[in-house]
Amino acid sequence: MSISTQSERFILAVDDDPDVRATIRRVLERDLHHIIEAPDGQSALRLAREHRPDVIILDVSLPDINGFELCTMLRSMPFVNDTPILFLSVHHSAQTVARALDCGGDDYLRKPFATRELTARVRALLRRTASRLPGTVAVLRFVPNDSVVIVNGRTITLTPTEYALLHFLCQHPTEYHPAASLLEHLWEYPPDGGDTALVRNHIRNLRRKIEPDPDHPAIIVSAHGRGYAISPHVDYQGSVSAR
């Protein structure tokens, strides 16, 4: 897995036009970024898994996979599901912009673009990922039998249900669990039984207690249609017996 320094970030540029990729590389390397290039969707998926980029620049029109479909696929991948995605496109319609944002894009830049604007957009997206940089990986440790966890040295008391929920997620790191599945495994409801709002409320309360910024969770992450998971940027330490 590639690891970026504080000054260097990995940017995945996905575009079938080599001239566009060359422009992106030339412009962003000035900011000391490492540029990874993909000419098509399949290459982008492979490189995203290998490098876990800090930002993805994605063209709408690709030779093998529609850019919107590719964005949806990327959003389902544990290691890049919350990576900022900047769409590029020659299409200027409001419908295209809306579709790009609806499928998981964070920003949209029209071609041809000014290089200064590209740099500014990427810098803005990188500021959103600052809390997930390798130097600030969250360290989470369980204290057995006390419903207590220690997050980055801070001792936090949880309810027994919150503790069991967090421990279950840590036992299956980066694996997404739908609310219905959590109801079945933790609350022992029958399949399709229980109210998924119960899970959402406990997740919300957990985030308020353990997340540095609950409005932008970096420990318990979620993906639309897939559920909840522990972020790969969390160093889970310690083991406890099932409660």
Domains in the chain, ordered, with CATH? 10-132 (3.40.50.2300), 137-237 (1.10.10.10)
Cα 137 to Cα 123: distance, rounded to the nearest angstrom? 21
Q: Is pTM beyond 0.85 here?
A: no
Cα 158 to Cα 165: distance, rounded to the nearest angstrom? 10
Beta bridge partners of 13: 37, 57
pLDDT in tens, the chain (243 residues): 443 433 468 899 999 999 999 999 999 999 888 999 999 999 999 999 888 898 999 999 999 999 999 999 998 887 787 789 999 999 888 899 999 998 989 999 999 999 999 999 999 888 766 544 444 567 888 887 788 999 988 899 999 999 999 999 988 876 889 999 999 999 999 988 889 999 999 999 999 999 888 877 888 988 767 789 888 667 776 543 333
pLDDT score for 239: 46
The single residue listed with the structure tokens 């069991």 is 164
CB atoms inside a 10 Å sphere around CB 144: 11
Amino acid sitting at position 79: F
